[in-house]
Amino acid sequence: MPPEAVEPTVSSSPPARGIRGELRALLALAIPLCIAQAGQSLMSVTDTFIVGRAGTSALAAVGLSHALFFAVSSFGMGLMMGVDPLVSQAIGAGNPRRARGVLWQGVWLSAFVGVVLWAVLITVPSGLPWVGVAEEQIVQVRAFLH
């Protein structure tokens, strides 16, 4: 076949943007995420300022409570993040019935996992003496988590 007879391929990729266009698009996505992360860090600093006035024991208990809560809740957040792509894929495939079904399964899953993780979070302070945490902090950790 002669080279003139070959049909050109059509690219489905978006038109090329310059570096400034790419940076603008990146910043549009990144700035809200940066603000959210800064807000989380600012909440921790605020907690430290407020609780720090109550003394080192209270500050230690709040720090331990935050760590325990984050460890347990991260599991639940990670599990629930698996529902997002399934719903998105169903919507993208034009299957709203499947999207609704997966969404409701996610709601029931979050309710069940939430109850299980709540029970874990409530019982975790009972195991703290095994790792050498003082009883004074355990009482405060339990109060904070409840």
Report the pLDDT value the prediction gives residue 18, as an integer from 0 to 100: 84
Spatial separation of the C-alpha atoms in residues 11 and 52, rounded to whole Å: 60
Mean pLDDT, the chain cut into blocks of 10 residues (146 residues total): 55 68 91 91 86 87 88 90 92 94 95 95 90 87 87
Q: Which amino acid is at 11?
A: S
Can you spell out the DSSP letters for the chain? --GGGSPPPPP-SPPP--HHHHHHHHHHHHHHHHHHHHHHHHHHHHHHHHHHTT-HHHHHHHHHHHHHHHHHHHHHHHHHHTHHHHHHHHHHTT-HHHHHHHHHHHHHHHHHHHHHHHHHHHHGGGGGGGGT--HHHHHHHHHHH-
Give residue-wise pLDDT tens across range 66-93: 889 888 989 999 999 999 999 999 999 9
Residue type, 16: A
